[in-house]
Structure 1
Amino acid sequence: MSEVRIDKYLWAIRVYKTRADATDACKGNKIHINGTVAKPSKTVKAGDIITARKNEVTFTFRVIETVEKRQGAKLVGNFAENITPAEELEKLHRPIETFFLKRERGSGRPTKKERRDMDDLWDRYFFDSEDVYDDEEDGDEDY
């Protein structure tokens, strides 16, 4: 496969959870191909550099091979190389630190709203809730 739409490619390599999310990111000027803003229909080819702004972090990928179908997480490395600078990756941890710093020690249980905010934060920066449940199904017990 020589060229693929950018929205399909970002979905296939698991940068975005849905193709609609990838399309919205393109429409919001959050995706660049080789330094130029990319519309959802723009095509990518091997060797292109993709920059995707997501959750205040600018991720950078080099296209190794194009693919249209969604790939398993272990196979993504065959199609894209993550060349995001370390400074950008450090930004992922900043919101967590500041979120927990503003809560006073001994102030009791979090309210329902605070709990939802924490869940949203965890989902956005670390993992999808589906991933947690997938780990529990493997039968490994921690005790």
Structure 2
Amino acid sequence: MNQNLSLYPLTLYYDGACPLCMAEMRNLMLRNTAGRLRFVDMAPADFVAPAGAKREELARLLHGQAADGRWLRGVDTFVAMYEAVGVSWVAQALGGRWVRPLAERGYPWLARNRHRIPRWLAHVVFGTALRRAARQVAAAGECAQGACRRDGS
């Protein structure tokens, strides 16, 4: 999927009322420095699904609409979105021979039960990733201003 440029920009339709979903989207938003992802929160009551899609279906599993109009759902969306932000190891793991079948079975259950996941658990799952992404964004900003750090701090 990483070679398929017709995917990007990829528009992600996510549930902003879900703490786990929001933590993951914040992580991706911080990493989206190349603008390969667009984010649409479906939680507001005035959300209108795009032509050819139904809100109920979009809310069932994570969906992404590729630049060429194709729809991705579930694990395919996760693979494409992590590839888009340069977290290739996650994309490769999710798309891999051993993990993908497990993810395809487990993700629908997780999606159905996502509102039962407490906010603190979402923070545990994505807290480190969010801090790392924020540091990388800050470091990139410093480099853009000519003050790069070579020691990784």
TM-score by length of 2: 0.24
TM-score by length of 1: 0.25
Q: Which has the higher contact order (CA 8 A, sep 6+)?
A: 2
Of the two, which has the highest radius of gyration?
1
Instruction: Kindly indicate which of the two structures has a greater share of residues assigned to strand.
Output: 1
Instruction: Kindly indicate which of the two structures has a greater share of residues assigned to helix.
Output: 2
